[in-house]
Structure 1
Amino acid sequence: MSTLRDAAMNSKAWPFEEARRILKRVGGKTPAKGYVLFETGYGPSGLPHIGTFGEVARTTMIRRAFETICDIPTRLVCFSDDMDGMRKVPENVPMQEMMQENLQRPLTVVPDPFGTHASFGDHNNAMLRRFLDTFGFEYEFISASEFYKSGKFDEILLRAVERYDDVMKVMLASLREERSQTYSIFLPISPTTGRVLYVPIREVNAKDGTITFDDEDGTETTLPVTGGNVKLQWKPDFGARWAGLDVDFEMYGKDHAANTPIYDKICEILGGKRPEHFIYELFLDQNGEKISKSKGNGLTIDEWLTYASTESLSYFMYGKPKTAKRMHFDVIPKAVDEYHQQLRAYATQDEAKRVDNPVWHIHNGNPPESKMVVPFAMLLNLASVASATDKSVLWGFIQQYAPDASPEGNPDLDAAAEFAVRYFNDFVAPTRVFRLPNDQERGAIEDLLARLRVWDGGLDGDALQTMVFAVGKEHGFEPLRDWFKALYEVLLGASEGPRFGGFIALYGIEETVSLIEKGLAGDLAHRAEA
């Protein structure tokens, strides 16, 4: 056994913990189907949000961890429930009136309001696949519409007819009395209107594999459950899909947790073995509300990638999956800098620590070298004081600080500089609030200014930080963070900021002297008011 496999088998990183559970499930042997199947599910009732991406990213991390601890083949299926009826019109799509007219029709029948695909379901599926392909995920895409209509699901559907009473017993135990009176696990698709119908079923015929119901016009109608004529309700569909595909692992959000026993029982009734589950906490918007496809609240994948790299988003997804995460623009800079901190740490770590490092899981054990010689947060502050509208402005300062750095030799830093300018102008600039210093702060800042005017220590960030620290101590700031907060608010227009000595080294001594003079004179505060 290799050193890597030894380290992986003992790693406390959550992807390896999950991988070991799956290995135990299959008894350390290749299943009869010839592979271990990982699945993620997606409901294309609205534009795919960042949580959908998170499921695929995290499942991929577990899949790669599994492949590290054993030689059993794997597959990853991304299943889209695009045969579901559109229950409500998403708020963030055009042609609202047309969409209203298509309520309850399968998503792959609803016309595409964007006019680019055959249906709304196809449009959302294509968006999801584009996002997943951007990150280089290896997956197989399955459309529920194709799955039902092609006959691939027929065996399970016919088994659901045969075992209808057993499946219904599981479902009825979970329903309110009023709902249970009309509930059926089968949803017929009306031959006359094309809508997915939530109607009582008059008869379930196991011998013929059919159901009988009253269509929307009152006509008694009999349909085979096969061939795309009938869809399973979403909870039975969950368990039936596990049985039909022989799924070994699926993760989903906490909002499904209460239904897990239902999914498991239905899977087993239909002849399957319940998969291993991983329940993650939900993604929230900046107000702490659950991200919703129909509302379109929270960050989109495109929005994140407008301001930061794909790797930073993967890093954000890796951390604490069982803790609720707020997805809003303010988390981006921290994710970028922490990702690069982990890259730098990886280069110095032994095998045991490397497999616990998030970047191992982001890059499947082969992370690149970080060329970010300047933190992203520092670039944002540099963009602020330089009023940068182009990354070339930042490069002028970067190359004074790190003469060997270049856009060609440091492509991650070059991309980050462009992201920083964009992020600063869109989010930081509109919210900056400069203020004048109070008497204690003014005395300390004037002292700092005097020391910088005679500074002969070069652009040594650590030495400069020590000097800034000493000024704060000598002027009686307690706690000392109040001193740094004052510097940020007077000079940068924010309550938080970078390691100030490093910022001086990057921005330059003369430039910082000029900035402090403007701050003391009130020019920055007056400019902000204007």
Structure 2
Amino acid sequence: MHWAEKIADKIIKRNPDKEEYVCAAGISPSGSIHIGNFRDIATSLFVAKALVKKGKKARLLFSWDEYDRFRKVPVNVKAVDPDNEFEKYIGLPYTSVPNPFETQHANYAKYFEAEFMDSIKKFGIEMDYRYQTDMYTSGKYKEDVIEAIKKRKEIFDILDSFRTQDAEEGERDAYFPVSIFCPECGRDTTKIISVSDDCTVAEYECECGHKGTFDFAKEFNCKLAWKIDWPMRWRYEGVDFEPGGKDHASPGGSYETSSVISRKIFGFEPPMFQGYEFIGIKGSTGKMSGSSGLNLTPETLLKIYEPEVILWLYSKTDPKKAFDFCFDEGILRQYFEFDKMYNEYMEGKANEHNSSVIEYSLIEGRSIKTVPMGLLVQLGSIVDFNVPMMETVFEKIGTPYKYKDFDTRLERAKYWLYQCAPESANKLRGWRDWDLYNTLSDEEKKEISLLYDYIKAGDYDLDSLNTKLYDIPKEVFGADVENLKKIQGQFFKNVYRLLISKERGPRLYLFLYAIDRERFMHLLDFSFPKTEEEEALEKAAMEAEKEPEKEVKVYGEPDEVQPIVEPEINVDQFFAMDLRVCKILKCQEIRKAHSNYKLTLFDGLRERVIVSSIKNDYKPEELEGKKIIVVANLAPARLTGVTSEGMLLAGTNNACGCQVIFVDDIIPEGTRIC
């Protein structure tokens, strides 16, 4: 049974008579929505389909959490914001932040929402959208907000029960589960001072200096905190199922906390929840994030994957298991496995589970043509993706595909080959490889000569060419020679190396037959000496490939290990030092400074500058883009004319010089080291 159907059975068992089941998902439009977020939608989508398959009515509800606060300027916005103007909008709801791009979209949220929804249409997914700015500001949640304020102390007790540290004196009385957006500065940097007995009117003050009163029954520019907002919306929408990342699913995580609040505060049985593993990327590095720049969007992925194959990867994989999208050759294996399962399904040979996997992946109104992606890449590489030539080759090899059979995959094959795996492309050499030819034995040179004469004569078809390639080693070494297969294999390698400078390539007889022989014959003709032009081309190539010699630093013996003489500190003293992961954005020299660099960092909240005396140990290009650990709460100091806001961690020893402590790129900026 498909995993979605197992979940659907549990949902029906919990509430068998419900008229319509609600499967929910939601995303905050903090930046470009990446394919990892898509698992939220795909998981709910398949459960909704499973409910319909079982004869029930189901609706896929999607919430745009656009009333969340703007926390961080993503990389693609920074690229169009050289003066860091968008830093001033941090703390505003996303719908109050202007659109950073020159488009017609009304604000920041609407731009990124539209970007994602345009790609979602290509998956044929129908969703009932909720826009949380509209839901809050229209007053739809006003009674729920007032209810949460009335029960604020009970909410505090629930939240406190999940904390490891004891609450401070007065913290419970001062707690409020709602943030007010300041009418002056627009931010959520307000603090509620007091509230009326009926919990409808609050006095508040903002960090910007504004003070005022707020009537929750009449004013609606406020928002509940996430762990209260989530269960409030479960009740409001009658949600039956909602998935979430494994961080939400962890013990004491958002779902567990919100479930208790849902039951005890809102009197609503929380929906069934399914935690899911995160998505990996093969052929690329780094954690996917809408703010990091590694924002692998569905639209980007659709350039190499058909939408059905993307849905199939989610459908066939249990949410608790991870899987990879492949930018390397793994994508060809994925296409092969999809085609095999799909063809078995179409032929009625698939088992029940695989049939369900395919059914949940299909898109109404689209037909799938399973021309092998590996073959498209292979042949396309040979003939530069020339469609008439590809049709000719397909005809010659007994698979008479026409363009209409492979039109949806051809551009994806081309994009993957040239953009993701250019090393797999087969490019003919520009001149004869004399260095290689001179290493061949006399017999191997004769094989190349026989092949050249045969190609030059031109009297062959695909089958006779294939036969000739295997016969040439027999003509030179004899049909009864030992290790004939090994000799034939070496002949093929020699031809590949002479033509494309690789030992392997597409099937050789196809390669030689598909491309115009005038393009490669000269690479097999060693009947005349190396020309001056070849000498020049070879010399230029060698110069271009030369890498500058890396300076080798010579260090001495390790310093003598000194005893620990500093006084002991306790845990509180250690935590008084705020160590944060920061990313080095720029490394600049400082005028007249012999050993100091000016490093511009991003600490997860803002850019900061530190001065560090590592100029003699590192070049700027060795630092930019790396992540380091910084003492973030060190008092600012003026060093070589620059104000330094922190100090990086490094180890210094006679055996290694000064070595900065770098951290893995997967650790987000702003992470505290403890």
Same fold (TM over 0.5): yes
Distance 2:67 2:17 in 1: 32
Is 1:72–2:56 an aligned residue pair?
yes
Structure 1 residue 274 corresponds to structure 2 residue 266: no
Please name the residue that 1:372 is paired with: 370
Deviation at 1:352, TM superposition (A): 4.4
Give the conservation status (yes or no) of the 8 Å contact 1:284–1:325: yes
Equivalent-residue separation in structure 1 for 2:239 and 2:52 (angstroms): 17
When structure 1 is superposed on structure 2, of 203-212 and 229-238 the one drifting more is 203-212
The equivalent residue for 1:312 is: 309
Larger relative strand fraction: 2
What are the equivalent positions in structure 2 for 1:10-49 lying under 5 Å apart?
11=1, 13-26=2-15, 29-31=16-18, 34-49=19-34
- The answer (yes or no) to whether the contact 1:30–1:72 under 8 Å persists in 2 is no
- Say if 1:264 and 1:342 are closer, same or farther in 2 by CA, change over 3 A: same
The one-character-per-residue Cα deviations of 1:355-375 (angstroms, maximum 9, x if unpaired) are 5453211117x89765334x1
Q: Is the 8 A contact 2:396 2:462 kept in 1?
A: no
Equivalence map 1:440-519=2 (5 Å):
458=463, 474=483, 500=507, 504=509, 507=511
Output the CA distance in 2 between the equivalents of 1:166 and 1:278.
Answer: 27
* Partner in structure 1 of residue 590 of structure 2: none
Q: Deviations over 1:223-255 (max 9, x none)?
A: 234543211122222222222212111111112
Residue 392 of structure 1: CA displacement?
4.0
Point out where structure 1 has 5 or more consecutive residues left out of the alignment. Answer: 1-10
Q: Deviations over 1:150-195 (max 9, x none)?
A: 2222232222122211211122333465997576421111121111
* Aligned-pair CA distance for 1:306: 2.3
The residue aligned with 1:51 is 36
Q: Specify which of 65, 76, 79 is matched with residue 92 of structure 1.
A: 76
Within the candidate set 305, 321, 324, 1:323 is matched to 321
Whether the 8 Å contact between 1:384 and 1:429 is mirrored in structure 2 is no
Aligned pair 1:336/2:335, yes or no?
A: yes
Kept in 1, the 8 Å contact 2:418–2:425? The answer is no
CA distance change for structure 1 residues 398 and 174 in 2, over 3 Å: closer, same or farther?
Answer: same
Aligned-residue offset at 1:288:
5.1
Structure with the bigger RCO (C-alpha within 8 Å, sep 6+) is 1
- The whole-number CA distance in structure 1 between the counterparts of 2:376 and 2:260 is 54
Q: Contact conserved, 1:343 with 1:368, CA < 8 A, in 2? A: no
Q: Which residue of 1 aligns with 2:155?
A: 167
RMSD: 4.5
3-state DSSP class of the match of 1:231?
strand
Q: Secondary structure at the match of 1:307?
A: coil
- Give the distance between the partners of 1:76 and 1:50, measured in 2 at CA: 18
Deviation at 1:278, TM superposition (A): 1.2
Change (3 A) 1:176 1:392: farther
Q: How does 1:264-413 map to 2 (within 5 A)?
A: 264-269=259-264, 270-285=266-281, 286=283, 289-320=286-317, 321-327=319-325, 329-330=327-328, 331-350=330-349, 352-353=351-352, 356-363=355-362, 370-373=368-371, 375-388=372-385, 390-402=386-398, 404-408=400-404, 410=405, 413=406
Change in Cα spacing, 1:157 to 1:284, as seen in structure 2 (3 Å) is: same
How many pairs were matched up?
Answer: 496
Q: Taking structure 1 as reference, are residues 30 and 268 closer, same or farther at Cα in structure 2, changes over 3 Å only?
A: same
Separation (CA, whole Å) in 2 of partners of 1:23 and 1:386: 55
More helix by share: 1
Aligned match of 2:419: 426
The equivalent position to 1:113 in structure 2, one of 63, 76, 100, is 100
Percent of aligned positions that are identical? 23
Cα distance 1:16–1:202, how it changes in 2: closer, same or farther (>3 A)? same
1:6 is aligned to: none
| Matched residue type, 1:361 | Y
Contact 2:304 2:412 in 1 (8 A): yes
- Superimposed CA distance per residue, residues 255-287 of structure 1 (whole angstroms, 9 cap, x where no aligned partner): 222312112112212121111111111123455
- Unpaired segments of 5 or more residues in structure 2? 428-432, 472-478, 531-537, 545-674
Check the 8 A contact 1:41/1:79 in 2, yes or no: yes
Q: How far apart in 1 are the matches of 2:17 and 2:410? A: 47
Distance 1:496 1:183 in 2: 68
Secondary structure at the aligned position of 1:141 is classed as strand
Return the alpha-carbon distance in structure 1 between the equivalents of residues 541 and 10 of structure 2. 57
1:106 positional shift: 0.6
* 1:215 aligned to which of 201, 206, 212: 206
Counterpart in the other structure of 2:659: none
Give the alignment's TM-score, normalised by structure 2: 0.63
